């Protein structure tokens, strides 16, 4: 969010922000805006602008950028991001790319510390101190930086005349980071690599434990038929789902406003996910709010009633704010807006 704010103040054109901490209704609206600007049907006149985004745009969205600047990530994800460069074009349209026409071509700029041979577990912290909380395998990040720096390019070979291998070929990059003959790492990263391997083994075991055996039927002998909050369907940090609400007309209503008055859909579109390390829930409401909450939850299922509700209040700046319980059990203020999503005050 800090990068978005700085770029927005320095850039005359439109600067969009897209991350996971938006209510679903707002996230869908931002997706539509991003596709209108950078999607396959976007007119050339709409393209100038900047998008600041997290990993949410790596997959699913069919986007096309003139230039991508990215923090270091595992090499396969860097290749995935590079696939969003000059995606909707033929060679004749290269001259329409601002400042990036031939001979430069599609450009991916990777921000990283140098992959030095004396690197230790926190080798990346001086440049990207928060990256190790997203990608925990410091050895994999070092290999990714090393192979990308050595190759200096990504080569995607799709035609018969380009069959000979070369530096930067996609499979060669991935094999160098992940394969049986992957490149050697500095001694200072061996412990980090072993810890990452152990964590991966544990995750595979947990995944097997969470598999539902459909042949056993709908009972607890058939597996863990529980909500996604207790049986994760994907790897990564645990998250908690909050339902955003506001007080209106003497009652609590969902954040999302939809036509037709379908309250159940409106509540579903008001959900936002937050890392459990940052948020463990919301404070107990006062008596008046609790009574309004009971009324608002009449259409909810039993499992939905386990979802914490974050009641937002308008603030002096024209935005919305509320209180959550952070990962340490303390009450903290959060701010929400349709343009910036959920952010932590201070």
What CATH code is carried by the domain that includes residue 103?
Answer: 3.40.50
Token pair for 38: 């950078």
Q: Look at residues 345, 343, 346 and name the one whose alpha carbon lies nearest to residue 21.
A: 343
Domain range for residue 286?
239-344
What CA–CA distance (Å, rounded) separates 105 from 100? 6
What angle, 0 to 180 degrees and rounded to 10, lies between the N-to-C axes of helices 190-210 and 138-151? Answer: 110
At 92 the pLDDT is 43
User: Confidence class of residue 22 from pLDDT cuts 50, 70 and 90?
Assistant: very high
Residues 181 and 254 in one domain: no
At 316 the pLDDT is 76
Report the domain count for the chain.
Answer: 2
Residues 184 and 248 in one domain: no
Question: Considering the domain boundaries, does residue 54 fall inside one?
Answer: yes
Q: Residues near 315 by Cβ (< 8 Å), separated by ≥ 6? A: 321, 335
Where does 212-340 show beta strands of DSSP type E? Answer: 239-248, 251-254, 271-275, 309-314, 320-325, 331-337
At 243 the pLDDT is 96
H-assigned helices in the chain: 2-10, 24-38, 75-82, 131-134, 138-151, 170-178, 190-210, 263-268, 287-296
Look at residue 266 and tell me whether its pLDDT is greater than 70.
yes
Task: Tell me how long the chain is.
Answer: 346
Residues 304 and 165 in one domain: no
What CA–CA distance (Å, rounded) separates 237 from 203? 12
Token pair for 234: 């994907």
pLDDT tens digits for 233-250? 555 668 899 999 999 989
pLDDT tens digits for 316-331? 777 899 999 998 999 9
Residues 52 and 151 in one domain: yes
Average pLDDT, the chain: 84
Residues 106 and 24 in one domain: yes
- Terminal CA-CA length for the chain: 13
DSSP 106: S
Q: What is the pTM for the complete model shown?
A: 0.80
Residues 181 and 260 in one domain: no
Residues 276 and 177 in one domain: no
pLDDT tens digits for 121-151? 999 999 999 898 888 899 999 999 999 999 9
Pick the range with the lowest mean pLDDT from 67-71, 193-197, 252-256: 193-197
For 68-93, what is the mean pLDDT? Answer: 85
């Amino acid at each position: 969010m800090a990068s978005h704010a700085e770029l927005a103040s320095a850039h005359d054109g439109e600067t969009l922000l897209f991350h996971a901490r938006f209510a679903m209704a707002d996230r869908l609206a931002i997706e539509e805006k991003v596709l209108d600007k950078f999607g396959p049907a976007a007119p050339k006149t709409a393209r100038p602008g900047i998008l600041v985004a997290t990993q949410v745009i790596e997959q699913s969205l069919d986007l096309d950028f003139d230039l991508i600047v990215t923090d270091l990530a595992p090499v396969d994800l860097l290749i995935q991001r590079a696939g969003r460069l000059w995606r909707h074009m033929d060679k004749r349209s290269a001259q329409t790319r601002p400042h990036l026409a031939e001979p430069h071509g599609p450009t991916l700029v990777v921000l990283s510390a140098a992959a030095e041979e004396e690197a230790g577990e926190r080798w990346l912290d001086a440049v990207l101190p928060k990256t190790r909380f997203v990608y925990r395998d410091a050895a994999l990040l070092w290999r990714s930086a090393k192979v990308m720096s050595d190759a200096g390019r990504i080569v995607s070979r799709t035609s018969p005349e380009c069959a000979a291998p070369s530096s930067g070929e996609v499979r060669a990059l991935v094999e160098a980071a992940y394969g049986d003959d992957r490149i050697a790492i500095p001694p200072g990263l061996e412990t980090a690599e072993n810890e990452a391997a152990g964590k991966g083994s544990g995750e595979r075991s947990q995944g097997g434990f969470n598999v539902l055996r459909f042949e056993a039927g709908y009972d607890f002998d058939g597996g863990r038929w529980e909500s996604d909050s207790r049986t994760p369907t994907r790897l990564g940090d645990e998250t908690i789902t909050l339902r955003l609400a506001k007080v209106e007309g003497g009652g609590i209503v969902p954040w999302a406003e939809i036509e037709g008055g379908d309250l159940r859909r409106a509540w579903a579109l008001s959900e936002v996910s937050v890392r459990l390390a940052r948020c463990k829930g919301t404070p107990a409401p006062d008596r008046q709010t609790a009574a309004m909450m009971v009324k608002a939850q009449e259409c909810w299922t039993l499992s939905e009633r386990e979802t914490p509700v974050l009641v937002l209040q308008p603030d002096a700046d024209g935005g919305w704010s509320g209180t959550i319980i952070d990962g340490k059990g303390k009450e903290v203020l959060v701010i929400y807006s349709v343009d910036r999503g959920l952010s932590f005050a201070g």
